[in-house]
Amino acid sequence: MDKETILAARQAHLGPSLSLSYQEPLQIVRGWGAYLYDENGRPYLDVVNNVCHVGHSHPHVVAALAEQAALLNTNTRYLHPNIVRYAERLLATLPEPLEVCFFVCSGSEANELALRLARTATGVEDLIVIDGAYHGNTQALIDISPYKHDGPGGRGAPSFVHTAWMPDPYRGEFKGYGRDAARQYAAHVAQLIAEMQAEGRGLAGMIAEPLLGCGGQIVLPEGYLQEAFTAVRAAGGLCIVDEVQVGFGRVGSHFWAFETQGVVPDIVTMGKPIGNGHPLGAVVTTRAIAEAFDNGMEYFNTFGGNPVSCAVGTAVLDVIANEGLQENAARAGAHLLRGLAGLMDRHPLIGDVRGLGLFIGVELVRDRTTLEPAAAEATLIVERMKDAGILLSIDGPLHNVLKLKPPLVFSEQNADFLVQTLDAVLAELVDPAAV
Ligand code: PMP
């Protein structure tokens, strides 16, 4: 099928709320490592995809999937070693008392279950969420995702959802990455709790990404989650960390991004990279919370934890360890951050460069004092980078943050290519004749 035929068939047969990337959509037919290839064999460096974590079509993961699929795939109501082996491997990456796994099929299913665990264990419904957050596509998750319910087509937060200020060290009310900013932002969480308590409402918990994805690739000020979680726990709430975007070594210094904040959550949710593209998700929690949830209503998930998914999940953990991908995320990520920060001298459009490991944001502004967002410029840059063979995306509530979150096989050479190309594209934006 040629591109026009596929496009026409999509328009005819698929829901129109599904979008395509780029003015001229790409047809992608193959993936390998950090690269995607179009129908003509042209390679594109994939700096968007944090799902194919260990590299597109990784042979060890593909073999694990194919071998198990050729032998057996069924639900979890028979004894099978894959699920327990995988649970042991996953739990070995987590601190105590996180010792019980639930396997699901997506990040949304993981967060949906996390909400049910927290609400069942506490007996109350109210949740604190961070402004700008996205946690998934079900109704319960749209309810706790300001990115959606406060955006186009949204109907705002329901009464049981309380939105904390986005702890944005660059643009937010309190500047900086230090403890002072953390304390001031966390004070807003405490204030929300006090207001709820004054109304006689109980707190089920707080859900937070340890780095904000849809919020605009934001690194939290040091100690923010520690302070916020202390307030939540004092009110009887549970602390849920959404590692769907940032887990599995992406931040480089640690395997889990919550570790960079010095906290141990009560519930951790996982998705995207966990299966390298295979639909897999997980929730890990404490024995006490899992037991409170065992109230007579069975939790069954037809596909969650099946032998094929568990073989895939195990293979992903193998590759992260065997190929040193967490260490690579630290090394290549630091190199990329340095290169991008180096562009700030020549390009006033770059207001901020931030990130941890291979989770990086470049915030574009028209004026470094007023911070006027450069959204149209961001769109143009992403289009021009694509023309030059590099795929990027845009995020943040003001649509002005270039989002960099490549597979962890992304190399320092890939980083150099990206920085040089972005340098040229930014120069061209100011003076098209210069290139
Ligand atoms: N949590 C976060 C932080 C996400 O970014 C996403 C997906 N973008 C989800 C949850 C939902 O995951 P899924 O699309 O696999 O349901």
For 194-239, the pLDDT digits (tens) are 999 999 999 999 999 999 999 999 999 999 999 999 999 999 999 9
C-alpha span between 338 and 309 (Å, rounded): 37
Q: Is 266 helix (H, G, I), strand (E, B) or coil?
A: coil
Return the pLDDT at 430.
79
Beta carbon of 49 within 6 Å of any ligand 1 atom: no
Domain with CATH 3.90.1150.10 in the chain: 3-54+324-434
Residue 135 Cα to ligand 1 midpoint, Å, equals: 5
Nearest CA-CA partner of 52 in 272, 325, 247, 212: 272
Distance, first Cα to last Cα, the chain: 36
**What average pLDDT does the chain have?**
97
Beta carbon of 111 within 6 Å of any ligand 1 atom: yes
The residue nearest atom 10 of ligand 1, judged by CA position, is: 135
Domain with CATH 3.40.640.10 in the chain: 59-322
**How far apart, in Å, are the Cα atoms of 366 and each of 343, 348, 349, 350, 352?**
15, 8, 6, 8, 12
Which tens digit of pLDDT belongs to each residue from 357-409? 999 999 999 999 999 999 999 999 999 999 999 999 999 999 999 999 999 99
The residue nearest atom 13 of ligand 1, judged by CA position, is: 107
- Which option is the CATH number for 3-54+324-434: 3.40.1180.10, 3.90.1200.10, 3.40.50.11030, 3.90.1150.10? 3.90.1150.10
Inform me whether the pLDDT recorded for 350 exceeds 60.
yes
Please state the length of the chain. 435
Residue 108 Cα to ligand 1 midpoint, Å, equals: 6
Atom of ligand 1 lying closest to residue 246 CA: 3
Phi, psi of 391 (to 5 degrees): -100, 120
Domain 59-322 -> CATH class:
alpha beta
Beta carbon of 134 within 6 Å of any ligand 1 atom: yes
C-alpha span between 394 and 409 (Å, rounded): 21
Most ligand 1 atoms within 8 A of CB, residue of 245, 395, 403 to mutate: 245
Which tens digit of pLDDT belongs to each residue from 84-104? 999 999 999 999 999 999 999
Beta carbon of 213 within 6 Å of any ligand 1 atom: yes
C-alpha span between 313 and 58 (Å, rounded): 13
Which tens digit of pLDDT belongs to each residue from 105-122? 999 999 999 999 999 999
